[in-house]
């Protein structure tokens, strides 16, 4: 057959042709023939199906993927016409001499008019497929399926992008927002791996393996299904399903979902990856944070790296790698899914020196003033409604007005470095965008940009290093010893900005990462690309959730979430598709009756409609249920539990149902169990109280001034 194909204009491997797959194809319908060559050089024997060789949807064209076939526009063909004339009509060329009068002896033919003879000739099925291929993409699918890029900022706060009210300069992410839609009611989980597990599985954390973070699995959760601390093997992942649907699948950045060979990105559906497996790491090298785990683990294309590439800087290297993956497969025309899970702006804040001094002195004004400025811009932009009030400043955070100038400058410099880190992240996002524009892929790419949880306000370094004199504290002192402010950002330095600036990043919300107030789980979301039909630059207030990405992106790819995968049942998907919202056919994927729920470290929350029920450990919470109307009170200032006991009972019933459905096992130990004793007693924080520290020198009227009398 191979030699015969050399004599025809269209070369193809021997194929089974099943007209039932393409009932509208005129070649298949008109021929009334059985063309059944196979790789053995014979037709199938009685009872054989030939499934191993059969041409099916997707074999003709990568864009097809089993969607309805559209007939190509071919010239009118007649069974009575000579084969030579049929060939001329189809190809515009004279039939090759070697093919005239020579039908394949390997293809039994029931009916041999001119068209039957033509179709029985070697290579003609390939010719029909080749003629059909462009039409499959253009007529059946319309524009080819879009690329998908998820850009995930690690611990990036709700108000850290310019498009959401920040003074930090993020022109590239802002440009994506201008091209698309901003969503201001989008929920993630309260910490890294739980959010990532739902993003990639679409399944609740207590079912997908991240019922608790692996670093903090409680004794009563150990060995319980759903609490493995890694993304378990009972779920199917988004990259697996997209890969099956004909997408290239790439990942760069932080994984945090498992380190063993069966848990790494290559085992969960990514064909190319350059990945930090740990939950955080240095941006400059592979030093880790504890004596038990001295080195961070990286993989590339499913292999554990023995060293990092020369010139490694996390944000730059991840971008370089992704661009190379995209370019390597451009020629095949397949769409790609890129999961760009940056470390930035997670601590430790590492960045090149030229990025560290872009905001010198700007943050000496303090956190309260900056929160007020951001809220003002949020209201002006339409991110927040007029009348929105800021959440309370955390009671253990000082009023920056009362700090000495040197202290304000010292703490302000931390925020300067953080701002530079976000701007550096934005710069590399811009590099990726520019490259996609250069190669002509930008306009056919769906961008999804968000942070994985609230901003980090806790003391991760203290949690890891432990008390003075401990093994890990000694390790930290040896390997993270660059503590001078002039060295902040260098290798060996550890910098985090603390709870005061974390609240700025989460303006106007209460609290931050690890907690279930709005500041721990509500984040900025941008979606742009060919799927979006809403006005460019618009704002949407529908209730969205990170688990929605699974059904949304599967719909974009023309496939769906399965009930089983490779012979195993999979848990039900939690999310709802955003496609109707993005196309302007709906304002929210949810109704006021739909329920969202969370649990992490024993903290718990339920949202239905505008109502949110929250239970948090002391001292951040009351260790009791609190009730908020988060539409009217996004800062969660007014606990309405005492006023609406009926609503509390109703919401508690929803929580109990969630516990039963989702395998929730409340932990008997948490990383914050001693927090109440380590912090000052909680008291309300009200502007202007106590006035004793704010009263200025009284200046008497000038006309009442006098020198003292001598006698």
Delineate the domains of the chain, giving CATH numbers in brackets. 2-140 (no CATH), 147-662 (3.40.720.10)
Residue range 665-699, pLDDT digits in tens:
999 999 999 999 999 999 999 988 889 988 899 99
d(CA 417, CA 496): 9
Helical segments of 281-350, H only: 314-328
Residue 647, CB-side half-sphere exposure with 13 Å CA sphere:
19
- The mean pLDDT of 483-489, rounded to a whole number, is 95
Whether 163 has a pLDDT exceeding 80, the answer reads: yes
Among 466, 605, 481, CA closest to 187: 605
Q: Which residues pair with 614 in a beta bridge?
A: 605, 626
Whether 57 has a pLDDT exceeding 80, the answer reads: no
d(CA 682, CA 677): 11
Among 263, 270, 203, 209, CA closest to 242: 270
Q: Quick check: helix, strand or coil at residue 412?
A: helix
Residue 527: phi, psi to the nearest 5? -130, 130
- The mean pLDDT of 188-198, rounded to a whole number, is 98
Whether 421 has a pLDDT exceeding 90, the answer reads: yes
Residue range 605-614, pLDDT digits in tens:
999 999 999 9
d(CA 610, CA 516): 16
Beta strands in 22-163 (DSSP E): 147-153
Whether 462 has a pLDDT exceeding 60, the answer reads: yes
CA 557 to chain centre: 16
- The mean pLDDT of 29-55, rounded to a whole number, is 34
CB of 322 within 8 A of CB of 338?
Answer: yes
- The mean pLDDT of 159-173, rounded to a whole number, is 98
Two tokens, residue 352: 């090149």
Whether 98 has a pLDDT exceeding 90, the answer reads: no
d(CA 504, CA 516): 17
Measure CA of the first residue to CA of the last residue in the chain; give whole Å.
128
Residue 37 confidence class, pLDDT cut points 50, 70, 90: very low
What is the residue whose two structure tokens read 């190669």?
439
Whether 210 has a pLDDT exceeding 70, the answer reads: yes
d(CA 118, CA 435): 46
Residue 464, pLDDT score: 83
Q: Quick check: helix, strand or coil at residue 183?
A: strand
Residue range 576-599, pLDDT digits in tens:
999 999 999 999 999 999 999 999
Average pLDDT in the chain = 85
Residue range 525-551, pLDDT digits in tens:
999 999 999 999 999 999 999 999 999
Residue 84 confidence class, pLDDT cut points 50, 70, 90: low
Two tokens, residue 536: 């460019």
Residue 477 confidence class, pLDDT cut points 50, 70, 90: confident
Whether 29 has a pLDDT exceeding 50, the answer reads: no
Q: Please give the helix or strand (H or E) that residue 599 lies within, else none.
A: strand 595-600
Q: Which residues pair with 295 in a beta bridge?
A: 287
The pairing of strands 538-540 and 181-187 is parallel
Residue 142 confidence class, pLDDT cut points 50, 70, 90: low
CB of 606 within 8 A of CB of 658?
Answer: yes
- Looking at the chain, the number of H-run helices and the number of E-run strands are 20, 17
d(CA 217, CA 666): 11
Residue 88, pLDDT score: 57
Residue 291, pLDDT score: 87
CB of 545 within 8 A of CB of 574?
Answer: yes
Whether 7 has a pLDDT exceeding 70, the answer reads: no
The pairing of strands 568-569 and 564-565 is antiparallel
Residue 91 confidence class, pLDDT cut points 50, 70, 90: low
d(CA 207, CA 188): 16
More confident residue, 12 or 602: 602
What is the residue whose two structure tokens read 């193809």?
12
Residue range 343-394, pLDDT digits in tens:
999 999 999 999 999 999 999 999 999 999 999 999 999 999 999 999 999 9
Residue 658: phi, psi to the nearest 5? -60, -40
- The mean pLDDT of 648-667, rounded to a whole number, is 98
* C-alpha distance from residue 371 to each of 378, 520, 651 (Å): 10, 17, 32
Residue 68, pLDDT score: 41
CB of 63 within 8 A of CB of 166?
Answer: no
Whether 461 has a pLDDT exceeding 90, the answer reads: no
Residue 104, pLDDT score: 37
CB of 142 within 8 A of CB of 487?
Answer: no
Angle CA 601–618–497, to nearest 5: 75
CA 490 to chain centre: 29
22-31, 115-124, 297-306: the lowest-pLDDT one: 22-31
Residue range 243-280, pLDDT digits in tens:
999 999 999 999 999 999 999 999 999 999 999 999 99
Q: Which residues contact 369 (CB under 8 A, 6 or more apart)?
A: 400
Burial level of 493, CB count in 10 A (0-12/13-18/19+)? buried
């Amino acid at each position: 057959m191979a030699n015969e194909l050399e004599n025809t204009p269209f070369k193809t491997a021997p194929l089974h042709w099943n007209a039932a797959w393409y009932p509208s194809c005129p070649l298949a319908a008109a021929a009334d023939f059985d063309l059944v060559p196979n790789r053995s050089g014979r037709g199938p024997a009685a009872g054989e199906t030939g499934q191993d060789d059969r041409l099916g949807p997707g074999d003709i064209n990568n864009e097809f993927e089993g969607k309805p076939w559209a007939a190509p526009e071919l010239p009118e063909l007649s069974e009575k016409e000579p084969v030579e004339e049929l060939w001329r009509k189809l190809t515009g060329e004279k039939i090759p001499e070697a093919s005239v009068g020579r039908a394949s002896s390997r293809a039994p033919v029931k009916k041999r008019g001119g068209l039957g003879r033509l179709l029985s000739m070697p290579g003609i099925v390939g010719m029909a497929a080749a003629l059909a291929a462009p039409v499959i993409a253009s007529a059946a699918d319309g524009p080819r399926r879009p690329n998908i890029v998820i850009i995930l900022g690690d611990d990036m706060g709700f108000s850290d992008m310019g498009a959401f009210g920040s003074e930090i300069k993020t022109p590239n992410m802002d440009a994506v927002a201008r091209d698309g839609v901003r969503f201001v009611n989008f929920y993630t989980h309260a910490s890294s791996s739980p959010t990532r597990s739902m993003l990639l599985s679409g399944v609740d954390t207590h079912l997908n393996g991240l019922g608790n973070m692996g670093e903090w699995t409680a004794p009563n959760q150990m060995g319980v299904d759903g609490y493995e601390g890694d993304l378990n093997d009972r779920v199917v992942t988004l990259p697996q399903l997209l890969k099956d649907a004909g997408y290239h699948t790439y990942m760069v950045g932080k994984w945090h979902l498992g380190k063993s060979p069966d848990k790494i990105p290559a085992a969960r559906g990514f064909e190319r990856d350059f990945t930090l497996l740990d939950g955080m790491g240095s941006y400059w090298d592979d030093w880790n944070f504890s004596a038990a785990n001295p080195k961070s683990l990286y993989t590339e294309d499913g292999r554990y790296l023995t060293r990092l590439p020369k010139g490694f800087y996390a944000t730059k290297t991840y971008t370089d790698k992704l661009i190379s993956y995209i370019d390597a497969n451009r020629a095949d025309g397949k769409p790609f899914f890129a999961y760009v899970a940056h470390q930035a702006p997670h601590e430790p804040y590492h960045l090149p020196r030229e990025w560290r001094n872009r905001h010198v002195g700007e943050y000496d004004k303090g956190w309260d003033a900056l929160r007020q400025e951001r809220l003002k811009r949020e209201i002006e932009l339409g991110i927040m409604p007029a009348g929105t009030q800021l959440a309370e400043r955390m009671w253990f955070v000082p009023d920056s007005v009362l700090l000495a100038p040197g202290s304000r400058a010292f703490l302000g410099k931390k925020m300067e470095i953080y701002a530079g880190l976000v701007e550096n992240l934005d710069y590399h996002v811009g590099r990726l965008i520019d490259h996609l524009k250069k190669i002509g892929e930008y306009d056919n790419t769906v961008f999804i940009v968000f942070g994985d949880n609230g901003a980090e306000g806790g003391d991760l370094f203290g949690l890891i290093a432990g008390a003075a004199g401990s093994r890990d504290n000694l390790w930290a002192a040896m390997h993270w010893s660059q503590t001078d402010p002039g060295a902040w950002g260098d290798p060996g330095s550890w910098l985090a900005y603390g709870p005061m600036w974390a609240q700025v990043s989460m303006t106007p919300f209460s609290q931050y990462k690890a907690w279930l107030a709005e500041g721990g789980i509500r984040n900025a979301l941008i979606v742009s690309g060919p799927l979006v039909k809403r006005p460019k630059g618009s704002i949407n207030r529908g209730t969205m959730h990170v688990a929605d990405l699974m059904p949304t992106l599967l719909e974009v790819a023309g496939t769906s979430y399965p009930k089983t995968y490779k012979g195993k049942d999979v848990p039900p998907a939690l999310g709802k598709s955003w496609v109707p919202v993005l196309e302007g056919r709906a304002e929210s994927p949810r109704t006021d009756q739909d329920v969202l729920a969370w649990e992490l470290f024993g903290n718990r929350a339920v949202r239905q409609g505008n109502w949110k029920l929250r239970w948090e450990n002391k001292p951040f919470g009351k260790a009791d249920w609190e009730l908020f109307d988060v539409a009217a009170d996004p800062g969660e200032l007014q606990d309405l539990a005492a006023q609406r006991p009926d609503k509390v009972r109703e919401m508690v019933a929803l929580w109990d149902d969630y516990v039963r459905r989702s395998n929730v096992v409340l932990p008997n130990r948490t990383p914050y169990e001693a927090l109440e004793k380590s912090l000052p007693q909680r008291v309300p924080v009200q502007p202007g109280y106590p006035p004793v520290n704010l009263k200025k020198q009284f200046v008497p009227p000038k006309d009442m001034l006098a020198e003292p009398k001598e006698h």
